[in-house]
A = this chain, B = another copy of it.
Amino acid sequence: MAKRTEISTLGEFGLIDHLTEGLTAVNASTLRGVGDDCAVLNYPASDVLVTSDMLMEGIHFDLVYTPLRHLGYKAAMVNLSDVYAMNGTPRQLIVNLALSRRFSVEDMDELYDGIRMACERHHVDIVGGDTTSSLTGLAISITCIGEARREDIVYRNGARDTDLICVSGNLGAAYMGLQLMEREKAVFESMKPNAGEPAQPDFSGREYLLERLLKPEARRDIVEALRAAGIRPTAMMDISDGLSSELMHICKQSGTGCRVYEERIPLDYQTAVTAEEFNMNVTTCALNGGDDYELLFTVPLTDHERVSQLEDVKVIGHITKPELGCALVARDGQEFELKAQGWNPLAE
C-alpha cells in the first residue's frame, strides 16, 4: 500500500511550498517566480506569447488509465505546443490545480513531477499558480508564456493560394490509443467482483499508440528544423482537435480553400492495424481523432524542395482559392467536403 499523506496536513501554502520546492529559473526572462502576488517577467526585445488550457477530469482525462505523472506531463505539453505553433519559444508556466479530497500529497507529487519533467525538457520555468480544492474531481488550468521575434511569429491567417499544406509526424495514433484504453476499461469494469485479479491487459506491439495518447511531445524539433532550413511557414497551428477541424481554421482565417490528399496523410502502421481491428476508417481517425499535437503548417510553393527534404514532415495537399472550398481527395479521386467533426467538448 502506497503512503498517503492528506493534503489538509499541509494546507494550501504548505502544499505550494512542497510542490515548488527547489525550483530554479533557467530563463533570463524570469525575474521572479512563485511567492508573490504576481510573477515578474522581462521581454524587452521580443513579443510575448500567452496561451492557456483547461483539463477537466472525466472530460479530458480518465484517471482509470492515465497515470498522474503522464497527465501532468501532457497538461504542460499541450500548452508548450501552442507556443511552438506560433513559431515561438516557451519560457514560463503557471499551474492552477483544483483537487478533491480523494487526492493525497503523493498524488500531487506525481502530477507535479510530470509537469516539471515537461518543463525541464523544454527549459521552461514554473513561475506561479493557484492550488485549491474542488467538490469533485481534478481540474488543471495551465498558462504558458513564451516569446518570439515579431518577424518570426506565424499566425493561422497567412495561408495563400498554391501554398503547400504540411504536417509533422503521423496522425490518428493518439485516438487509436484512446480506443484501446477504453476497451480495456470496459473489460475491466464488466468483470465479476469475485473474479480475482484481472489479467494484465496485453498492449504489446501497441505501446506506440498508448505513448501517443498518454505522453505527447510538443514538436520543438520541427520548429527548429524549419528555422534551420530557412523555411518560414505562412500559417501554422498544432493539431489538438483533429486535422480536419484545424485545416478549416486555417482556411477560414486565411480566406482560402484547400485540397488534402487521403493517400498522403501520414499514418503509423499500428494506427492502421488497430483501426481495422476496431472496424474504423483510418482516414476518419486521422482527420478527426485529435490529441496528436503534431504541427500543421503551410509553406510557399517555392519551398517545395526544401520542405520535402525535412525529416518527419509530409506535404499532404495545397491551399486553393476560397471558392473551391475545403475538400479531401480520396484515393479514387473523389472529393469530399471537409467537416469539423473534431473532438468538441461542448457538443451533445
Interface residue ranges, A against B (CB under 8 Å): 6-8, 10-13, 15, 31-32, 35-45, 47-54, 56-60, 82-83, 85-86, 88, 92, 94, 96-98, 127-137, 139, 141, 143, 145-146, 150, 153, 155-157, 237-238, 253, 340, 344-348
Contact of A143 among B12, B42, B136, B143 (CB under 8 A): B143
Specify which chain B residues have a CB less than 8 angstroms from the CB of A82 in the assembled complex. Answer: 37-38
Specify which chain B residues have a CB less than 8 angstroms from the CB of A347 in the assembled complex. Answer: 8, 11-12
Q: Are B155 and A32 in contact (CB under 8 A)?
A: yes
Q: Are B52 and A8 in contact (CB under 8 A)?
A: no
- Contacts A40-B49, A51-B37 hold; do A58 and B130 have CB atoms under 8 A apart? no
Question: Bound complex: CA of A39 vs CA of B35, how far in Å?
Answer: 25
A-B contact pairs, 29 of them (CB 8 A): A8-B346, A11-B347, A12-B347, A35-B253, A36-B157, A38-B51, A38-B83, A38-B88, A39-B49, A40-B47, A40-B153, A42-B47, A42-B150, A43-B44, A48-B145, A50-B94, A50-B145, A56-B98, A56-B135, A58-B134, A59-B132, A59-B134, A59-B135, A94-B143, A98-B139, A132-B346, A134-B139, A135-B137, A136-B137
Contact of A134 among B40, B45, B56, B88 (CB under 8 A): B56
Q: Are B56 and A156 in contact (CB under 8 A)?
A: no
- Please provide the 3 A-B residue pairs with the shortest distance between their CB atoms, ordered closest to farther: A141-B141, A38-B49, A41-B48
- Contacts A44-B45, A346-B15 hold; do A92 and B39 have CB atoms under 8 A apart? no
Q: Are B36 and A156 in contact (CB under 8 A)?
A: yes
CB distance from A278 to the nearest CB of B (A): 25
Q: Are B98 and A59 in contact (CB under 8 A)?
A: yes
CB distance from A38 to the nearest CB of B (A): 4
Specify which chain B residues have a CB less than 8 angstroms from the CB of A51 in the assembled complex. Answer: 37-39, 128
Question: Bound complex: CA of A76 vs CA of B344, how far in Å?
Answer: 26
Question: Bound complex: CA of A58 vs CA of B132, how far in Å?
Answer: 12
Contact of A86 among B13, B36, B150 (CB under 8 A): B36
Specify which chain B residues have a CB less than 8 angstroms from the CB of A6 in the assembled complex. Answer: 348
Q: Are A344 and B52 in contact (CB under 8 A)?
A: no
Contact of A346 among B53, B92, B128, B131 (CB under 8 A): B131
Q: Are A139 and B85 in contact (CB under 8 A)?
A: no
Specify which chain B residues have a CB less than 8 angstroms from the CB of A54 in the assembled complex. Answer: 96-98, 130, 132, 139, 141
Question: Bound complex: CA of A135 vs CA of B153, how far in Å?
Answer: 36
Question: Bound complex: CA of A65 vs CA of B63, how far in Å?
Answer: 33
Find the residue from A8, A83, A134 having the highest chain B CB count within 10 A. Answer: A134
